[in-house]
Amino acid sequence: MNRMMRHYLFWPLCVLGALLLFNLLYSPDFFSIVLRDGHLYGSLIDILNFGAPLVLVAIGMTLVIATKGIDLSVGSIVAISGAIACLSISKGSDQSSLGLVMTAILSSLALSLVLGLWNGFLVAGAGIQPIIATLILMVAGRGIAQLVTSGQIITVDSSTYEYIGAGSLATLPFSIFIVAAMLIVALLLTRKTALGLFIESVGSNPTASRLAGIRSNMVIMSVYIFCGLCAGIAGLLLSSNVSSADGNNAGLWYELDAILAVVIGGTSLNGGRFYLMGTVIGALIIQTLTTTIYMIGVPPEITLVVKSVVVLAVCLIQSETFRSTIMTRWKTRNYPGEKEVVRHVP
Amino acid sequence: MSLNRKFIPILVTFGLFVVMFAAGSFRYTGFFSLQVLMNLLIDNAFLLITAVGMSFVILSGGIDLSVGSIIALTTMVSASLVQQQGWPPVVVIPLVLVMGAVFGYGMGAIIHYFKIQPFIVTLAGMFLARGLCYVISIDTITIDNAFYTSVAQTKIHLPGGSFVSISVIIALVVIAAAIYIAHYTRFGRNVYALGGSEQSALLMGLPVARTKILVYTLSGFCSALAGVVFTFYMLSGYGLHAVGLELDTIAAVVIGGTLLTGGVGYVIGTFFGVMIQGIIQTIISFEGTLSSWWTKIVIGLLLFFFILLQRLLIARRSTLKL
């Protein structure tokens, strides 16, 4: 039992379980999944489908945070990637043609790789603090996305493109498979090769790892590129789900949600240790929370207050000082004798 | 004349401002006037006040992401109390100022006592303040209170036919006070010491806890004051006011030559950082054909340029030391 409680997934899973249980008690048909025209429908499927972009972004963010960095530009990359894809599709004569959609997807993915490379270059090459280096793209990126879309919402009418975010494979939404594929790639790369170890080593001490023979800069560079790619795919999912690109609002505040998911999943912001599965659970918790708040009829805007309280609570629990303060309080309350201080009277 | 290296960023900022203003004056008719300069102040008074608070935070080596949300919360609380509850502005304005300061105090205390990164605490503060706005109302509350409208419409005429608003006076007073506090008081020196090295500040016996918490309190207070000015400017309260302002503010401080690692910088630099952002917007609106999104791209590029400049200066200093 004790070993189970120590497991890093224990608390995140408890929270997720509690949320689901609450939903079950509140509305019993929460868990009902129906099969209609070969597609599965239900709240649980919705959570997976709508949470897919967040899970993707959060996976990339986990690796960045593991190197003691942070990527604030993911929301902007989401917007840019969706905008580029929709723009190139909307220019084609036959919007559903496979070739056109593939070109659009590949060009926006290539661009997100470049944007990730830019972040990585600033952090590893120029040695700028990650918060600030990615802040540049966060500010300028939204401008670029709005420039691409000319400030309007570009709508596309392409059944092929729509399949990515809204289509379904084997009765499940296709987006789930994309996320699963990326997750498996990330898990294999970090847990079956030495890369994961390198990332953790760089996160704890970049200089020491460089002296030990790890090319720290390359590792840092590659996690930012990976994070950019994840955000790019998330942008495709989001824009294809609604068949439109909105440079202003797509991916707004995604960076905050992604960081929150990573922190809930047990990854410390101090770097050096990361849990990809924890992040996935964290992202699902956020999505379930949002869905729950919608369902119980509370205005969706309250989500922000709830999220902020969750962030603070999780951070406080992670804080060594906070825990020791609470423990001392609790102990001195139970043993009042320890409270007595011998006063030195001059 | 040997130039002190710590003045280079601020001189670059000032030079850039002059070049941009000169370029605008040559290119567009009607650009070269006192009123255009005054409009920079009128339209950016709230940004100036926020950036002053942020300067102290960044000088101390921290960061405050909650400023934009606190501004929105201030407009929202003022609007709902004045408009819906009918409270007099004399009570409401001090109340929201205290509220902002308490908000900042709380964040500072958590940052210091529980040793959580300022970035994450103020992020939570940002969510919280934005969320509280929506708890009050999700719609815009328009203010037609006599006091607010009269303050908003008052024009203070200057010699030469130009005018400024009351907000500009508030902003200039804040700037003057901040210059005094930062460079001529014990608190100001403590902030610089804290930003230089927290360990050393602690070993020197400086009141690290008090300084750190006060810095965030000051930033919260400045944001609330900026919110009051913003209420005069917009005459409404809305939960989506000042979205993304924290980034503009950080950009202004950085462009103003303050080192993001803390300890180096001048309040007057922040003033010119804000003015540069304002003049970019003015040039873009004079150009007419350029879309306003270019503002963000240009600010991003400037941010990049100034950060690289800072890196170069630091690199040179550390090689000199060796």
* Residue A251 reports pLDDT greater than 90: no
Q: Do A151 and B291 touch (CB under 8 A)?
A: yes
Q: Do B303 and A135 touch (CB under 8 A)?
A: yes
> What is the DSSP secondary-structure string of B235-284?
SEE-TTTTTTHHHHHHHHHHHTT--TTSS---HHHHHHHHHHHHHHHHHH
- Selecting from B130, B132, B247 the residue whose C-beta is nearest the C-beta of A135 gives B247
Query: Which residues neighbour A126 within 8 Å (Cβ) at sequence distance 6 or greater?
Result: A133, B308, B311
CA–CA dist A15, B253 (Å, integer): 40
CA distance B72 to chain A (A): 14
CA distance B157 to chain A (A): 36
**Residues A146-178: pLDDT tens digits?**
888 887 888 888 777 778 777 777 777 888 899
Set of chain B residues whose Cβ sits within 8 Å of the Cβ of A258: none
In angstroms, how far is CA B61 from the centroid of its own chain?
16
DSSP SS3 for A96: coil
Q: Which of A197-206, B5-14, B274-283 has the lowest mean pLDDT?
A: B5-14
Set of chain A residues whose Cβ sits within 8 Å of the Cβ of B295: 143
**Residues A298-322: pLDDT tens digits?**
776 777 788 778 777 777 776 677 7
* Residue B313 reports pLDDT greater than 80: no
CA–CA dist B200, A100 (Å, integer): 61
- Selecting from A135, A302, A321 the residue whose C-beta is nearest the C-beta of B134 gives A302
DSSP SS3 for A34: strand
Q: Please, is B215 exposed, middle or buried when counting C-beta atoms within 10 Å of its C-beta (0-12, 13-18, 19+)?
A: buried
Could you list the beta-strand ranges (E) of A25-179.
Answer: 34-36, 39-41, 153-155, 168-169, 172-173
Q: What is the mean pLDDT of chain A?
A: 83
Q: Do A132 and B117 touch (CB under 8 A)?
A: no
DSSP one-letter code for B160: T
Name the band, by pLDDT with cuts 50, 70 and 90, for residue B316.
low
Residue pair A135/A72 in contact (Cβ under 8 Å)? The answer is yes
> What is the DSSP secondary-structure string of A227-240?
HHHHHHHHHHHHHH
Nearest to A236 by CA among A339, A86, A111, A119: A86
* Residue B160 reports pLDDT greater than 60: yes
Residue pair A105/A236 in contact (Cβ under 8 Å)? The answer is yes
Q: Do A315 and B135 touch (CB under 8 A)?
A: no
Query: CA of A303: how far to CAs of A54, A134, A159, A234, B135, in Å?
Result: 16, 26, 33, 22, 10
CA distance B6 to chain A (A): 19
Q: Which of A22-36, A110-124, A252-266, A271-285 is modeled with the greatest confidence?
A: A110-124
Query: Taking each helix axis from N to C terminus, what angle separates A174-191 and A216-242, rounded to the nearest 10 degrees?
Result: 170
Q: Please, is B1 exposed, middle or buried when counting C-beta atoms within 10 Å of its C-beta (0-12, 13-18, 19+)?
A: exposed
CA–CA dist A315, B267 (Å, integer): 32
β-pairing, A244-246 with A153-155? antiparallel
* Residue B2 reports pLDDT greater than 80: no
Q: Do A140 and B301 touch (CB under 8 A)?
A: yes
Name the band, by pLDDT with cuts 50, 70 and 90, for residue B51.
very high
- Selecting from B120, B260, B261 the residue whose C-beta is nearest the C-beta of A311 gives B120
Mean pLDDT along residues B293-316: 78
pLDDT at A311: 72
- Selecting from A135, A151, A304 the residue whose C-beta is nearest the C-beta of B130 gives A304
CA–CA dist B66, B47 (Å, integer): 14
CA–CA dist A135, A76 (Å, integer): 10
Rama region for B29: left / alpha / beta (φ>0; ψ in -120 to 50; rest): beta
DSSP SS3 for A156: coil
pTM reported for the whole predicted model:
0.81
